[in-house]
Structure 1
Amino acid sequence: MTIDAAPVHHLELVPLGERAWRLCDHAPATHPDDDGVLIAYVEQLPGGAYETVWVYRGPRVDTYASLEEVLVAATRRLAPMVGTDSKPVPIPHRAPLSFR
């Protein structure tokens, strides 16, 4: 199963067994023979839910009801950080305590 998440991402679930997959991102800029960037390992649990062990952007384990939810979560994980052009909000400071 593959999905084009954005112009720069091409997600693919590569089967590892009957109920296990490797989720990879095949960005168009990568070499055609490249296996892509590993995003997560996905396994279908006996109850039907999908346990996802994220590799990209730090280790984490989440459970989803469907493979579609896994792909949506991966798309969000790959989305660039939203930047703003505004200045940071200054933190109010108190004057230092004086000792007597």
Structure 2
Amino acid sequence: MASTTPDQQEQQIAAQPTSWRVAVGAGLAVALFIGLFVAAFLWPITTASPQHIPLAVAGPQPAVAAVEQQLTARSPELFEVATVPDRQAAVAAIHARDV
């Protein structure tokens, strides 16, 4: 009766081919992981939309009111309109990051 050493047993186990179930399972697991990874990056692209964009408007009061009305009529939450008296005030608000 021939006995096998632990090294020979390990070689016999290592020499056996991988089960097709293990190979298919590993392939499906990798495909699922990649699919979830791609979905995690694509989901925000499909659901994101700009909202509350600060905007400074300078000019005569009737023109400013008309611009503000048109901007809010199309998309009420798209712009946050700030009225400023002139161009210099608009530039100062931009530099101060108010708009």
TM-score range normalised by the length of the shorter chain: under 0.3
CA radius of gyration, larger in:
2
The structure richer in helix per residue is 2
Instruction: Name the structure where strand makes up a greater proportion of residues.
Output: 1
Query: What TM-score comes out, normalization by structure 2 length?
Result: 0.23
